[in-house]
Amino acid sequence: MTIDHQPPVYLTFGLHAHQPVGNFDHVFEEHVSRVYEPFLDRAEALDFLPVTLHLSGPLLEWLEDHRSDYLDRLARLVAQEKVELLLAGYYEPILPSLDRQDRIDQIHWMQEALRSRFGAEARGLWLTERVWEPDLAADLAGAGVSYVLVDDRHFVAAGFSRDALHSPFRTESSGRSLGVFAIDEQLRYFIPFQPPEDTVNYIRDLRASGRRLAVAADDIEKFGGWPGTFEWVYEKGWMERFIRAMKEMEATGEIRIATFGQALRELPSGGPAYLPSAAYREMEEWALPTEAYHRLARLKEEMGEERFTLGDAPLVRGSHWRNFLVKYPESNRMHKKMMALSTLCRDRGDPKEARRRLGRAQCNDAYWHGVFGGLYLKHLREEIWENLARAEGILRADEGLTWEERDVDLDGHPELWIHSHAFSALVSPIRGGAVEELTLFAEGVNLADVLTRRREPYHELREGGEEEGQEKDEGEEQNHTPGGDAEGTPSIHDLEEELRFGRPPPVDADDRALFVDRVLSGDVTLDGYAEGRFQALVSWARTALYLEEADLEGDHLVLSFAGPGPGGFRKELRFREDGVLTVRYRWDPGAFPDEALFTTELSLGAAARVRTDPPAELWRHPVSTFSKSEKGFDETVQGESVTVRWPVRLGEGTVHLARGAEAGEPQQESEHPPGG
């Protein structure tokens, strides 16, 4: 009889549960019934414990208000040391995107919540979107964090071999050290999409080669929340088979099911590791501009999928996470406004309610776009802007109307930041004096919150002219997993690869804002205009205007701009202290063809009243985007384009924009319904 003296492999099983700030109640409810409860039911029934769990702050708050019994159940398991809880930034921010004190505040909020609700002193941290930057180590250690979870590709990108990553490591910054666990990408793709036998064989191979640690950690939503997974994981019995297989390995001494804290204490360290700035592979790809994304896709095809995903891929990388802020100026605008208000908040004594509002506005989901809607989901962006509005309203409660010249979005071009106790606005001289933000504090809305229509990689046609999304031949394999459901189920990334658009949707020539000014030919049709199929005779959308004068006139601030080019263009923005905005134009009619029209386009993200003097023709059309989600393509109405059109021969015109009805001279009106 052969005696097995090989020590067991520590299997650490971590789960991340999150719903973003502002998500719909029915989404929370669905995930409780189809993911959070079923997983816990089976884990308890079959004694697949201990597990390590992270619940985000927005999810904790919703559960406390709607399903406190679930939290009571977790508290019992925590007390029995059957569940280890993880920290993170409370409102699930990407920590490197915040300044140092904001990072620490977010972690302290989570520590306090876990301590008060569960009696837990959590020491490990789930790193949101696994976005790592080296200076995090000092801040995390200083906040009381003992270890953090990152992807194994972070190590491989630093030159480590994957075979050497089956130990807890140490990293440091400024002399402050913490443990680092490398999440095993192979296990991330096996669980739960492949048969349990694949995981069994993989762990046995690790043990045979003397490895001591297997790290499985990922989103809990893949256990019932992603398409097809509820049927596969629960109804077809994957989870029962998986747990029984792991328990059999535990009974034979092949594995020990352990928490990360136990593994950190009981396993020898792998030594020091200094990791580069990194995120998970798909996120780095999504951050690429469309053309660069296609170049990487061609390289991936040349390398082969297996070599790319498990071999040399970390050395052939996509983009830095922060380049979402380049790819999507709307994201950058939210982010830099949040950062500016955070600084203002500290300068003004850091009032608690304003600080919490800013914390909520740091929730990561609305700042980027990948396989889920993210930035494209209007209700998530609206929640960010509402929290920014409420915070700024508190901070400026006693402030009069004023303005400052400041590069708020840090793009190298100064904006004009106008604000009072009632509103905040950003005017961009480099964009023809367009209004990029008009936030009304009492209503909690940014009237300019409309996403620009852009070309995404999945909008493209197939090479050779075949349309993306064209149906496959009957005999062509539809499932990336050999054998179909009998052998496995597609992951969300497999499904993502199948999503292709049949007919590319419209793309905007210019980024959307309020008061984007052009002269159009008389033969431009509304349909062509709405589809973005037009060429302006003259456009000030990307023309720098010169600020001639800025005057405070009672409860009004008047900004007077002059522009280059034909027509002696003049633009005057008159902001009232309550946020009502009047824009007056003058131009030389003789500089343009007789049949031309002077136009200004307002992309409105919330209900507003548009009045013109003299009366003008108003073109209106919804601004819709088409984006990927876990269920396919989503069409989202981001808002409405309202374009004022005057015959160029008039030489002047005025537009009055207000949230509700305003008294004044009789003028043409256009009611704009909220974008949905």
Per-residue pLDDT of 226-280, as tens digits, reads: 889 999 999 999 999 999 999 999 999 999 999 999 999 999 999 999 999 999 9
Of the chain, the percentage scoring pLDDT greater than 70 comes to 89
Is residue 9 classed as helix, strand or coil in its secondary structure? strand
- Average pLDDT rounded to a whole number, residues 292-317: 79
CA distances to 482, 549, 555 from 558, in Å? 67, 8, 10
Cβ count near 102 (within 10 Å) = 23
Residue 652 pLDDT? 97
Burial of 313 (0-12, 13-18, 19+ CB in 10 A): buried
The pLDDT value given to residue 310: 61
Q: In the structure encoding, which two tokens stand for residue 665, read together? A: 């001279």
**Alpha carbon 252 to chain centroid, angstroms:** 44
Q: What pLDDT sits at residue 371?
A: 82
First to last CA, the chain: 70
| Preceding omega of 168 cis (within 30 degrees of 0) | no
| DSSP-derived 3-state class of residue 102 | helix
The CA distance from 562 to 43, in Å, is 68
Higher pLDDT, 318 or 79: 79
- pLDDT for the residue numbered 565: 67
Q: To the nearest whole number, what is the mean pLDDT of the chain?
A: 90
Active-site annotation holds for 219: yes
Contact 352, 419 (CB under 8 A): no
pLDDT at 493: 54
Question: One-letter amino acid identity for 111?
Answer: Q
Which residue would you say has higher pLDDT here, 656 or 666? Answer: 656
- Sign of the CA dihedral running 609, 613, 614, 619: negative
Name the residue type at position 174. S
Residue 21 has pLDDT above 60, yes or no: yes
Fold of 514-668: Beta-galactosidase; Chain A, domain 5 (2.70.98)
What are the contacts of 25-30 at 24+ separation with CB within 8 A? 25/62, 25/66, 28/59, 28/62, 28/63, 28/66, 29/66, 30/225
Name the residue type at position 213.
Answer: L
pLDDT in tens, 431-466: 999 999 999 999 999 999 999 999 998 887 544 344
Spatial separation of the C-alpha atoms in residues 163 and 279, rounded to whole Å:
20
Measured CA to CA, the distance from residue 78 to residue 130 in angstroms comes to: 25
| Across 161-165, average pLDDT | 93
Q: Given pLDDT bands bounded at 50, 70 and 90, which one contains residue 491? A: low
pLDDT at 661 over 70: no
Give pLDDT tens digits for 617-653. 999 999 999 987 766 778 899 999 999 999 999 999 9
Q: What is the pLDDT of residue 2?
A: 53
pLDDT recorded at residue 170: 98
Residue 672 vs residues 324, 330, 437: alpha-carbon distances, Å: 30, 21, 17
User: Do the domains at 12-279 and 514-668 have one common CATH topology?
Assistant: no
Q: What is the DSSP string of 130-151?
A: G-B-TTHHHHHHHTT--EEEEE
Question: What is the torsional sign of CA 356, 357, 358, 360?
Answer: positive
Q: Are 188 and 181 in contact (CB under 8 A)?
A: no
Q: Are 376 and 368 in contact (CB under 8 A)?
A: no
pLDDT score at 567: 67
Q: Which of 102, 129, 152, 415 is catalytic?
A: 129
> What's the pLDDT score for residue 342?
98
SS (H, E, C) 650-662: HCEEEEEEECCCC
Least confident of 14-18, 116-120, 497-501: 497-501
Q: What is the pLDDT of residue 663?
A: 36
CATH number of the structural domain 12-279: 3.20.110.20
Q: What number is the average pLDDT over the span 320-349? A: 97
pLDDT at 483 over 50: no
Q: pLDDT class for 9, splitting at 50, 70, 90? A: very high
Q: Is 594 a catalytic residue?
A: no
578 pLDDT above the threshold of 90? yes
pLDDT category at 500 given cuts 50, 70, 90 is: low
pLDDT, tens only, 27-53 = 999 999 999 999 999 999 999 999 999
With a cut of 80, say whether residue 511 has pLDDT above it: yes
Of 172, 189, 214, 157, nearest in space to 7 by CA: 214
Q: pLDDT tier at 377 (50, 70, 90 boundaries)?
A: very high
CA distance 597 to 520: 5
Signed CA dihedral, 351, 356, 357, 361: sign only: positive
pLDDT: is 480 or 80 the higher one?
A: 80
The pLDDT assigned to 503 comes to: 73
How far apart are the C-alpha atoms of 159 and 164, rounded to whole Å? 11
Domain positions in the chain: 12-279, 454-468+484-504, 514-668
**How does pLDDT run across 85-137, given as a tens digit for each residue?**
999 999 999 999 999 999 999 999 999 999 999 999 999 999 999 999 999 99
Nearest-angstrom CA–CA distance, 445 and 388 = 9
Q: What is the pLDDT of residue 564?
A: 81
Query: What's the average model confidence in pLDDT over 323-351?
Result: 97
Instruction: Judge contact between 585 and 598, C-beta under 8 A.
Output: yes
Q: Long-range CB contacts (< 8 A, 24+ apart) of 470-474?
A: 470/500, 470/502
What is the chain's percent helix, strand, coil content, to nearest 5? 35, 25, 35
Q: Residue 671 pLDDT more than 70?
A: no
| Continuous H helices in 305-460 | 305-310, 324-327, 329-347, 352-360, 378-395
Q: How confident is the model at residue 468 (pLDDT cuts 50, 70, 90)?
A: very low
> Do the Cβ atoms of 529 and 506 come closer than 8 Å?
no
Q: What are the φ and ψ backbone dihedral angles of 217, each rounded to 5 degrees?
A: -155, 130
pLDDT of residue 306: 72
Confidence label for 3 from pLDDT (cuts 50, 70 and 90): low
Which residue is catalytic, options 37, 172, 198, 219? Answer: 219
pLDDT value at residue 206:
97
**pLDDT grade, residue 512 (50/70/90)?**
very high
In three-state form (DSSP H/G/I as H, E/B as E, the rest C), the secondary structure along 435-454 is EEEEEECCCCEECCCCCCCC
